[in-house]
Chains A and B, each alone.
Chain A
Amino acid sequence: MKKIALIFVLLTISIYVLKHTRLSFAQERIESNNFRIQFPNFNSGAGIPTSDNYDLTGTLGQGIAGEYSSTGYRVKAGFEYIRTIIPFSFSVSDIQKNFGTLSPNSFSSTSSTLTVSAGGAGGYQVTASENTPLSTNGGVDTIPDTTCNSGTCTETTAAVWNSTSTYGFGYNMSGDDVPAGFSDSTYFKQFADRSNSEAPQIVMSSVEAGDERVATITYKVNVSNTQAAGVYRNIIQFTAVPAY
């Protein structure tokens, strides 16, 4: 029986290795110490690095006025100073957040992880907004956006929110590339409310290229004794875009 179990483990590991081993480099990069060519970019002009003596920036095959006159267009894909095209990626660890049963004068908190890889861009930003405040079906009852302990936090300004006698819905950011206003885990903001024409607010941003930049968004909800019973929902929209 021990032998069978060990064979099973070895078989599993073999399947894993085969699954993750690339046997063909037909579409991969060809590179040496001096140059690197990636086939999908070759005809699109992904950009060529410069040297001290000459500048090779410009589209491949379409860099001169004569060719522009004949073809009528010129296209560059990717960032000019990077030889290969690096995709821009964004992920959220969940597809929704469940706040559970809301009890009066008691915070309900939960978090998600946001991850950005902008290796090909000179910066990026992620904005967040809500379609409406947390509301029951049809918007009959609403949990208002928090104004924090002192009544001063808005969608643009963070403030301390740790008093259970202050009610509402808000968020905190921590980790890489988060706005400076979130001084610590007690600082919260409201979400920008698109139903009120409020502009989405930056939750992550950087002026540098970066790989696997990770931030945590922490939601907090608190309701009063007079909050109407019901099921409260809204939609949080994240928009991730690289710098141009």
Chain B
Amino acid sequence: MNSFNKYLIIFSFILFVYICYPNLIKAQNIDLSISPPLVEVMIQPGKEVKHSFTITNNGSPSAITPKLFYFDPQGDTGRVEITNRPAPDWIIFNSSPFALDTASTKSVELTFSPPSDASETDHLLSLVFETTETADITDRNVSAYKTQIASNILITISKDGLPKKSASIVSFWAPKIIDSTFGSIEYKLLLENNGNFIWKPEGKIIINQKNQLQLAPQNIASGHKRAINCLQAEEVVVCKQEKPFIGINRAVLSFSPQGNQTVYNAQTTTLAFPFTIVGVLTLLLLLTTYINKYHSVKSR
């Protein structure tokens, strides 16, 4: 057998093993995904609803334990700090650890059944799936990993499905002057939920009564603020007016907490002027004038 055939056979064997048994070659790793990443539940006291979450393991086989804790909103960007406070006992799920092999999924069902005398309030929770760190049986200096991946659950207990919502506009800001040659107008919006229940804004920023920027329906927890972005197709984007009109650009914000009739308004104005173009043209004009004067003086 010549060398070429030998190498071809070895390569083919390696390729075969890699394709058919990829886990033999991959290093051990942690690779988890959870779906859905967010669930919002509104429920009457005394009623019951179930919902399933799916955990997928694309890494090494792992022992996984589901846990449920309250979270506290942090800052104004929707960040979550998972606490040690356990979830209320009217949320039932199987919290026993389970083994999850590579490329496997498991559904965990939660049953929400607040008692009939449960008070109307929000419960902000994170469903956490936690791996167990590997036991090292050899004498090595190691840091072992334990990983948690979470999904957030927003529960509102409401008797009539119409919890009272209250909002305030902390700030609606845009630059006062911009150079319209290159610039765009970026709008920054900070809203506060000063009511007792979580809500998301529904509304728009309308610029010069023509262009519309749709607000992203991002949740704001009771007693917290959130910087609200805009929505373009399915993407959350910065609220921005590209190519503003030369002159005064008047932006009117108008929104309501979802499901609420009260409309909140604010407005701001921005002067857009092509400073750069005007500056360059002025400079050219002055230069031309100077050159002409110089030539006429010289020719005398």
Binding site for B on A (CB under 8 A): 1-2, 5-6, 8-9, 12, 15-16, 19, 44, 46, 49-50, 52, 55, 57, 65, 68-69, 71-83, 85-102, 108, 112, 117-118, 120-123, 125, 130, 134, 199, 205, 207-209, 219, 221, 231-244
Contact = CB atoms under 8 A, between A and B. Distances in A.
Interface in B78-124: 78-82, 112, 124
B4 A2 contact: yes
A87 B33 contact: yes
B134 to A, nearest CB: 5
SS of A interface (majority):
mixed
Interface of B: 1, 4-5, 8-9, 11-12, 15-16, 19-20, 27-44, 46-49, 51, 54, 56, 58-60, 71, 73, 77-82, 112, 124, 126, 128, 133-134, 136, 139-152, 154, 160-162, 200, 202, 212, 214, 216-219, 221, 227, 229, 231, 233-236, 258
B221 A244 contact: yes
10 contacts: A12-B19, A68-B44, A72-B48, A88-B149, A199-B81, A231-B140, A234-B144, A239-B149, A240-B150, A244-B124
Nearest to B8: A5
B280 to A, nearest CB: 36
B19 to A, nearest CB: 5
Contact of B8 (A9, A44, A89, A232): A9
Contacts of B20: 15
A244 B148 contact: no
A9 B11 CA distance: 9
A16 B33 CA distance: 24
Nearest 3 A-B pairs (CB), nearest first? A72-B47, A243-B78, A68-B161
A237 B54 CA distance: 22
Nearest to B39: A77
Given A74-B42, A99-B141, A231-B139, A90 B147 contact: yes
Nearest to A10: B12
A188 B41 CA distance: 42
Given A65-B160, A234-B144, 18 more contacts: A8-B9, A44-B36, A50-B231, A75-B42, A76-B39, A80-B217, A87-B56, A88-B149, A91-B32, A102-B141, A108-B141, A120-B38, A122-B229, A123-B77, A233-B143, A239-B128, A241-B82, A242-B151
Contacts of A122: 78, 216, 218, 229, 236
Contacts of A78: 36-38
Contacts of A243: 77-80
Contacts of B40: 75-77
A210 B41 CA distance: 26
Contacts of B231: 50, 81
Contacts of A57: 202, 217, 258
A240 B145 contact: no
Contacts of A52: 212
A181 B119 CA distance: 44
Contact of B51 (A75, A97, A101): A75
Contacts of B234: 49, 81-83
A2 B8 contact: yes
B123 to A, nearest CB: 12
Contacts of A240: 147-150
A75 B160 contact: no
A237 B79 contact: no
Nearest to B234: A82
A237 B36 contact: no
A88 B35 contact: yes
A79 B235 CA distance: 11
Contacts of B143: 96-97, 99, 130, 134, 219, 233-236
Given A68-B161, A240-B147, A81 B30 contact: no
Nearest to B202: A55
Contacts of A93: 27, 29
B44 A77 contact: no
B160 A69 contact: yes
A234 B140 CA distance: 11
A209 B236 contact: yes
Nearest to A202: B79
Contacts of B233: 49
Contacts of A219: 143
A198 to B, nearest CB: 14
A233 B136 contact: yes
Given A75-B51, A122-B218, A95 B78 contact: no
A243 B145 CA distance: 23
Given A52-B212, A241-B126, A96 B142 contact: yes
A244 B29 contact: no
Contacts of A5: 5, 8-9, 12
Given A8-B16, A9-B15, A120 B37 contact: yes
